[in-house]
Amino acid sequence: MKKGEKGRMMWGWIYAAAFVTAFTASAVLKLFCNPLAKKYAVAWNDDMGNIYTDLPYGEGEANKFDLYVPADNSRKSYGLVVYLHAGGFTSGDKSDDADMLKRFCSMGYVAAGINYTLFGADHPQANIYTQSQEIKASIPAVKKEAEKLGYPLERMAVSGGSAGGCLALLYAYRDADTSPIPVKMVFEMVGPASFHHEDWAPYGLDRSPEAAAKLFSVMSGRTITEEMIRENDYDEEVRDISAYMWVDKNSVPTLCAYGAYDKVCPFGSAKHLINALEQNQVPHDYIEFPHSGHGLQNDNRMFAVYMEKLNAYLERYMGVGEYR
């Protein structure tokens, strides 16, 4: 590695560490950490279905997925719900979302939790783009394994929380056209969908072109300079990790939630996604949690609204029964 690249990586690590620390500090990132979680939890037993863990989809150590299949394997086709885990792009595991995946499986869907290579000392070259490419590579393997078990997949919902929400949005808007399973909807909570330095004030990126350049370089895997930040000339460099830039009139229906006091995934950054959905007339519901930060833990009423909307979206766009 060249000297300049080493320096960029070192400073990138410093800013990334601050970024990750903030993500980790706000630990309530999953749907079922909410006080109302018991209402939606499932008392899982083997009569509901089967769980297959650590199935491979690539050569990387993290290239594994868990597959949840319902007990009823008599239908001609099934819907797939994918949920991508949180963790600030540097931590987390598919097993963190086992309760949620069990719930979807109990509703009659095939469900999958997918791991991806995390940015860290062992994998310093990992970034949001490489992680999104791993998710893209995983879906054919998920489809193949499900069909081998007797569950043909004909439609798909992709979802996630926080970092997983970011990756879910990228797959739904950027990669849906090449998906081996038609993507019918996306739902997510507090996933970063845009990277404009002025929106990331909690990290000081609005005041420090150096910090913005180095952190965004690490996150995108592209070289972004201080001058590019000052001149607002780096859209192309962050395009592959900025989901909102891929929204068009054909984008899938979207359910999303953000906290008005979120300083981890800065609340101001959500406006780009909402504006893109509105301008392209994409069917969507945006649920704002007016008293919550990144964990969305202070608005039980809005959590209930989100869950009601999610059930309606699943019924409308995914169904449960046989598809023709």
Fold assignment, 3-318:
Rossmann fold (3.40.50)
Q: Does residue 2 carry a pLDDT above 70?
A: no
- Helix, strand, coil percentages (3-state) for the chain, rounded to 5, are 45, 20, 35
Confidence class for position 19, pLDDT limits 50, 70, 90: low
The whole-model pTM stands at 0.92
Q: Does residue 193 carry a pLDDT above 60?
A: yes
Confidence class for position 17, pLDDT limits 50, 70, 90: low
Structure tokens at 295: 């964990």
Residue with tokens 């987390």: 92
Instruction: Select from 312, 258, 247, 268 the least CA-distant residue to 289.
Output: 258
Residue 73 has a pLDDT of 92
Instruction: Select from 134, 178, 157 the least CA-distant residue to 318.
Output: 157
Average pLDDT, the chain: 89
* Whether 297 contacts 290, CB under 8 Å: no
Confidence class for position 320, pLDDT limits 50, 70, 90: confident
Q: What is the dihedral of CA 206, 209, 210, 213, to 10 degrees?
A: 90
Q: Does residue 178 carry a pLDDT above 90?
A: yes
Classify 114 as helix, strand or coil. strand
The DSSP H or E segment spanning 111 is strand 110-114
Confidence class for position 11, pLDDT limits 50, 70, 90: very low
- Tell me the percentage of the chain whose pLDDT exceeds 70: 87
pLDDT tens-digit series, residues 237-296: 999 999 999 999 999 999 999 999 998 899 999 999 999 999 999 999 999 999 999 988
Phi, psi at 31, each rounded to 5° = -50, -40
Q: Does residue 12 carry a pLDDT above 60?
A: no
Residue 27 has a pLDDT of 41
Q: What is the mean pLDDT of residues 173-193?
A: 97
pLDDT tens-digit series, residues 22-78: 555 444 444 445 555 667 789 999 899 999 999 999 999 999 999 999 999 999 999
Residue 203 has a pLDDT of 87
Q: Which residues of 120-145 are buried (b: 16+ CB within 10 A; e: fewer)?
A: eeebeebbbbebbbbbbebbebbbeb
Instruction: Select from 296, 291, 293, 299 the least CA-distant residue to 264.
Output: 293
- Domain boundaries along the sequence of the chain: 3-318
**Separation between Cα atoms, residue 34 and residue 74, nearest integer Å:** 35
Residue type, 136: K
Round to the nearest angstrom and report the end-to-end CA distance of the chain. Answer: 54
Residue 34 has a pLDDT of 54
pLDDT tens-digit series, residues 203-237: 889 999 999 999 999 999 999 999 999 999 999 99
